[in-house]
């Protein structure tokens, strides 16, 4: 691999796969939707952060923000998880999967943390209340892996930085799940190219649900500016595939650990969780 991420294959601590360490950035930069015009850096509040924007936790620069951001998508997966608000930890996480028809083991040997479609879940309300409650807790997300480019990035540190085709990942929750899932196949079908052959410009749309406000990402594929794979970028296809495989194997390891009688561990620090669904 091209140094995207380093994980001890014998570890039982999987927090680096799902969270961003506070003391140092992850080896693979992680993006998120930023809703705030301030950011914290070394205990100080930094103003002038663009919002809405994409925030990137960079392994060398720390938090970097830019409104004008472009993705090149090399891989995308789906995943489910269950977050326990009482313990403030993830209590279950599934393997990556590409199709709803595919089985995805979770930490307890189940399939997709008990997640089912909305229609199937409603059928369970009367017939199987326990299964209904389990399915209602499971959250569906989409993971994107690729290269990110930012115009006029602003680092929370105040350092002048350049973000140009940096390997990254982003986890998109339910409100941002479906649109990108429709766009990627359409790029292949309509334009006869892979998503990694073009930049996708990111836009933002403010949505409201009751008292909650959140941003939905909008996408504009730059199909007239075809991006060919180079010797370096071609290697990322295998890199991201290897990373996804490794994370799936980590879920299986966690499942085997949970089969041993004793206390179930989640290994996740609640202060380091990324969630683009938190209202503001």
Helix axes 118-127, 129-137, angle to 10 degrees: 150
Q: How far apart are CA 202 and CA 226, in angstroms?
A: 17
pLDDT of residue 2: 46
Assessment of whether the complete model's pTM goes beyond 0.85: no
Counting every residue written for the chain, the total comes to 280
Please write down the HEC assignment for all residues of 91-152. EEEECCECCCCCCCEECCCCEHHHCCCHHHHHHHHHHCHHHHHHHHHEEEEEEEEEEEEECC
Q: How far apart are CA 147 and CA 144, in angstroms?
A: 10
Cβ atoms of 203 and 220 within 8 Å: the answer is yes
Radius of gyration (Cα) for the chain, nearest Å?
19
Give the pLDDT mean for 81-110: 94
Query: pLDDT class for 275, splitting at 50, 70, 90?
Result: very low
Q: How far apart are CA 85 and CA 137, in angstroms?
A: 11
Cα–Cα distance list, 131 to 93, 126, 180, 204 (Å): 17, 10, 29, 36
Structure tokens at 62: 């720390």
Q: Given a cut of 90, is residue 271 above it in pLDDT?
A: no
Displacement of CA 233 from its chain's centroid (Å): 21
According to DSSP, the β-strands at 29-34 and 166-172 are parallel
Any idea what DSSP says for residue 19?
Answer: B
pLDDT in tens, 142-179: 999 999 999 999 999 999 999 999 999 999 998 999 99
Displacement of CA 4 from its chain's centroid (Å): 15
Please write down the HEC assignment for all residues of 80-95. EEEEECCCCEEEEEEC
Q: Which long-range contacts (CB under 8 A, 24 or more apart) does 231-237 make?
A: 232/2, 233/147, 233/165, 233/196, 235/2, 236/2, 236/4, 236/74, 236/146, 236/147, 236/167, 237/74, 237/75, 237/196
Query: pLDDT class for 182, splitting at 50, 70, 90?
Result: very high
pLDDT of residue 206: 94
């Amino acid at each position: 691999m091209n140094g995207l991420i380093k994980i001890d294959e014998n570890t039982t601590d999987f927090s680096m796969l799902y969270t961003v360490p506070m003391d140092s950035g992850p080896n693979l930069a992680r993006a998120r939707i930023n809703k705030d015009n301030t950011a914290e850096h070394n205990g100080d509040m930094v103003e002038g952060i663009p919002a809405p924007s994409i925030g990137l936790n960079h392994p060398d620069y720390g938090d970097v923000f830019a409104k004008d951001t472009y993705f090149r998508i090399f891989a995308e997966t789906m995943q489910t998880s269950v977050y326990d608000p009482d313990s403030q930890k993830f209590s279950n996480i599934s393997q990556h999967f590409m199709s709803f028809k595919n089985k995805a083991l979770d930490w307890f040997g189940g399939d997709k943390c008990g997640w089912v479609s909305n229609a199937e879940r409603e059928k369970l309300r009367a017939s199987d209340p326990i299964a209904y409650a389990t399915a209602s807790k499971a959250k569906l997300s989409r993971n994107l892996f690729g290269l990110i480019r930012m115009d006029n990035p602003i680092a929370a540190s105040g350092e002048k930085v350049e973000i140009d085709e940096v390997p990254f990942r982003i986890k998109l929750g339910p409100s941002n799940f479906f649109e990108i899932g429709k766009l990627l196949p359409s790029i292949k079908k309509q334009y006869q190219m892979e998503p990694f052959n073009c930049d996708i410009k990111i836009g933002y749309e403010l949505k409201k649900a009751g008292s909650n406000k959140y941003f939905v990402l909008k996408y504009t594929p730059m199909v007239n500016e075809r991006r060919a794979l180079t010797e370096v970028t071609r290697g990322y296809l295998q890199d991201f595939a290897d990373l996804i495989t490794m994370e799936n194997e980590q879920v299986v390891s966690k499942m085997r650990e949970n089969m041993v009688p004793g206390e179930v561990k989640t290994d996740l620090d609640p202060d380091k969780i990324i969630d683009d669904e938190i209202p503001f």
